[in-house]
Amino acid sequence: MNTNTTIAQAPAAAPAQASSIVRLQDVSKIYGSGDAQVRALDDVSVGFGAGEFTAIMGPSGSGKSTMMHILAGLDAPTSGHVFVEDTDITTLKDTALTKLRRDRIGFVFQSFNLVPTLDARANILLPMRLAGATPEKEWFDLIVTSLGIADRLSHRPSEMSGGQQQRVAVARALMSRPAVIVADEPTGNLDSHSTDEVMDLLRRAVDELSQSVIMVTHDTATAAYADRVLVCRDGRIVSDLRDITADNLTAALR
Ligand SMILES: Nc1ncnc2c1ncn2[C@@H]1O[C@H](COP(=O)(O)OP(=O)(O)OP(=O)(O)O)[C@@H](O)[C@H]1O
Ligand SMILES: [Mg+2]
């Protein structure tokens, strides 16, 4: 955690930086039409630093998941541009976008999204298999050992605890060395012990592997693992914190 800066109250949004691994530029997302129209994202510009752990917080309905889906290429913005490693993904055709998503982005969701019929090993290796890539054995061994799931590799998801399943999902995301790991409430279904384990792991991926991580969380203790916390409200980023203390988070979320 940094201690030498104070809360930056970003007027509209944090500036997008050239060194960003992912960058949103003037992104808006409007769902529905007429009276039912919802502006889920309202002209957001923000850059996510390479090798940085960013947490996104904010009330329910403030646009967090919408932002994650759009920056990961799972959904298209109504207007604006999204850059992943300098590629404007809003201009990509479906096949190119699918490939970029598969090769460059690691996903971790609240519901784990593991394939129930496959054991842990096969789940971890599945994205690389689908990509026709050869997994590095040493990398695989390092990941499953440091995640504490080396002795669970032949277990199916239904034979593992929630924390173990989520660690398998994190291993799967790390396996292809993606440009960025995108995690939407990755610990939302976990008890506090498993939450700490998964957060320690993501933190280590950032510190030891220079992995970039963008994570949505409702929990201030979970957000405290990050280097930077963005707070969303009504489809905008209203705070950009790097001095992540309990007091600062409480003030920004008020
Ligand atoms: N597919 C959709 N169709 C219509 N409206 C949507 C759709 N997805 C999201 N919305 C609306 O967009 C707004 C932002 O939703 P979003 O899911 O991004 O919020 P969130 O910050 O992730 O909330 P939560 O903390 O509850 O997960 C909400 O008003 C929501 O109702
Ligand atoms: Mg959400």
Cα gap 91→80, rounded to integer Å: 11
* Ligand 1 pocket mutation, candidates 65, 74, 215, 234, criterion most atoms within 8 A of CB: 65
Asked if residue 56 lies in contact with residue 214, where contact means CB atoms within 8 angstroms, the answer is yes
Which of these, 153, 134, 135, lies nearest to 144 by C-alpha position?
Answer: 153
Residue 254, burial from CB neighbour count under 10 angstroms (0-12, 13-18, 19+): exposed
In the reported structure, the alpha carbon of residue 64 is separated from the centroid of ligand 2 by a whole-number distance in angstroms of: 5
In the reported structure, the alpha carbon of residue 60 is separated from the centroid of ligand 1 by a whole-number distance in angstroms of: 8
Map tokens 């060395």 to a residue.
177
- Is the overall model pTM greater than 0.85, yes or no? yes
Angstrom distances, CA of residue 168 to CA of 41, 47, 98, 102: 31, 28, 22, 17
Asked if residue 29 lies in contact with residue 189, where contact means CB atoms within 8 angstroms, the answer is no
Tokens of 19: 């060194």
Q: Whose CA is nearest to atom 3 of ligand 1?
A: 31
How would residue 11 be classed by pLDDT, with cut points 50, 70 and 90? very low
Cα gap 30→39, rounded to integer Å: 4
Task: Give, as residue ranges, everything with CB less than 5 Å from ion ligand 2.
Answer: 64-65
| Whether the predicted pLDDT of 140 surpasses 80 | yes
Q: Is the CB of 38 under 6 A from ligand 1?
A: yes
Q: What is the pLDDT of residues 128-138, one digit of tens each?
A: 898 888 999 99
Q: Are strands 53-57 and 228-233 parallel, antiparallel or unpaired?
A: parallel
Tokens of 120: 């842990």
Cα gap 119→39, rounded to integer Å: 41
Cα gap 32→23, rounded to integer Å: 25
Q: What is the pLDDT of residues 61-82, one digit of tens each?
A: 999 999 999 999 999 999 999 9
pLDDT at position 177: 87
| Whether the predicted pLDDT of 223 surpasses 90 | yes
pLDDT at position 249: 92
pLDDT at position 146: 81
How would residue 112 be classed by pLDDT, with cut points 50, 70 and 90? confident
pLDDT over 90 percentage in the chain: 70
